[in-house]
Amino acid sequence: MKTKRIIRDSVLKGITYIASFISIIILVAILFFIFAKGSKGLTWDFITGDNEPKSYTISILSNNELIENDKYENYAKRFGVAFEDSVNYDKEPVVKIVFVDDKSPLHSVIDSITGEKVSVSEGFYFTTFIEIVDDNGNTDYIYAREGAKVASEKLANAKKIKDWALSYEGGGIRGSIITTVYLVVLTLLIGFPIGILTAVYLHEIAPKNRFINILRSFIDMLTGVPSIIYGLLGAALLIPVSQMVLQTDSIGGNVLSGALTLSIMILPVVIKATESALDVVPKDYKLASLALGVNEVQTTFKVILPNAMPGILSAALLTIGRVIGESAALIYAIGTSIKDVVSIDGKGTSLAVHIWSVMAGENPNVEVATSIAIIILALVLVLNLIVKYISHRLDKKFKGV
């Protein structure tokens, strides 16, 4: 009997070991995949750069003094710039700028077509030619197909660049990061007060009758609705509402309609979490307050709600995670166009939708997608820590421990 039991117990124990082992392996594997694929593309330019490709046409005189540098192979001293052979998104061979010295005149040039100030930096490239004038006043052409080595040698002899069509590939995610922050902040600002006050009503003020019970189970049900259905609601109802609020007649969604949609999506979660947070506030506090001749409303807002705050904040954390990770609802409620300049009445994409955009094209770009995934992970982690800290501080304030 005894050995049988020992065997059975160790088998059960063994199964729990195996299960946790599998979970950990999967988690580590996912993280490893994301970091292995994404960390290479994760540069400062990628995080802060524009997404939209740009092209400039510039002309400029060379420096009087030579700018010395021997770190780069294909380096033109007169302009302080280094080249490299590369290919662009469309797999065309291009000559790419890999280094621009601080003293280079290229840092401040004027676009000869738009008159816009341009700072040529790493990542710019050209696919056609550079028209140059040498010291003797002869015009020459540097063709991109001749490669980086020839380009640097010829440019080293140029007195003046007469005409140079430069491109910038874009692909940065700054706009999407900002849109995501907008969405999180707006969603919390709209969704949280409504959700918390609804929960306070349901928990403290509402009569205990059948209607309220039905309402409550309805809210329970809403937590399980797939987010794409909220997206449909957003597209059908909230886009017109947001257009009315913002007084715009632009077609399609905007950041506000996205935030409104997400606010509605998080409402049931906020209500449920706030209700459970209110549940754990000891009844004694309410009794003590009422017995002092303080009315129910004041008791709710001065004693019960502050005590539920740490719990409500944990709900905020869950919600922020959900907002950052949301893609399906936003595809309908804002759209998928990636923007570099973000405003409430403009379009934009969250990071999650950015991943979707990058992967949805003809050539899915896993590297970029995983780089964005790392940013999302980092954001969630930081928010996690912030909320934990605030919640800890509140706990300390209320419980004095």
Residues in contact with another protein by CB under 8 A are: 208, 282, 284-285, 287-295, 298, 302-303, 307, 398-401
Cβ of residue 401: shortest distance to another protein, in angstroms? 7
Per residue in 260-293, is it b (16+ CB within 10 Å) or e — as a string?
A: bbbbbbbbbbbbbbbbbbbeebeeeebeebeeee
State which residue, 266 or 278, has the beta carbon closest to another protein: 278
State which residue, 209 or 247, has the beta carbon closest to another protein: 209
Cβ of residue 286: shortest distance to another protein, in angstroms? 8
Pull the structure tokens for residue 108.
Answer: 């401040």
3-state secondary structure labels for all residues of 225-287: CCHHHHHHHHHHHHHHHHHHHHCCCCCCCCHHHHHHHHHHHHHHHHHHHHHHHHHCCCHHHHH
Cβ of residue 292: shortest distance to another protein, in angstroms? 4
Cβ of residue 107: shortest distance to another protein, in angstroms? 57
Cβ of residue 309: shortest distance to another protein, in angstroms? 11
State which residue, 238 or 309, has the beta carbon closest to another protein: 309
State which residue, 302 or 392, has the beta carbon closest to another protein: 302
Q: Are 193 and 85 in contact (CB under 8 A)?
A: no
CA distance 260 to 255: 9
Alpha helix segments (H runs only) across 56-173: 147-156
Cβ of residue 320: shortest distance to another protein, in angstroms? 26
- How many other CB atoms are found less than 10 A from the CB of residue 394? 17
State which residue, 72 or 398, has the beta carbon closest to another protein: 398
- How many other CB atoms are found less than 10 A from the CB of residue 16? 9
Cβ of residue 278: shortest distance to another protein, in angstroms? 15
Pull the structure tokens for residue 304.
Answer: 């019960």
Q: Crossing angle for the helix pair 351-360 and 366-399, nearest 10 degrees? A: 170
What letter does residue 171 receive in the DSSP assignment?
A: -
* Burial (CB count within 10 angstroms: exposed 0-12, middle 13-18, buried 19+), residue 381: exposed
CA distance 292 to 46: 60
State which residue, 152 or 289, has the beta carbon closest to another protein: 289
State which residue, 167 or 289, has the beta carbon closest to another protein: 289
State which residue, 179 or 307, has the beta carbon closest to another protein: 307
Pull the structure tokens for residue 237.
Answer: 């109802």
For residue 84, CA distances in Å to 61, 76, 219, 367, 390 come to 22, 12, 59, 21, 49
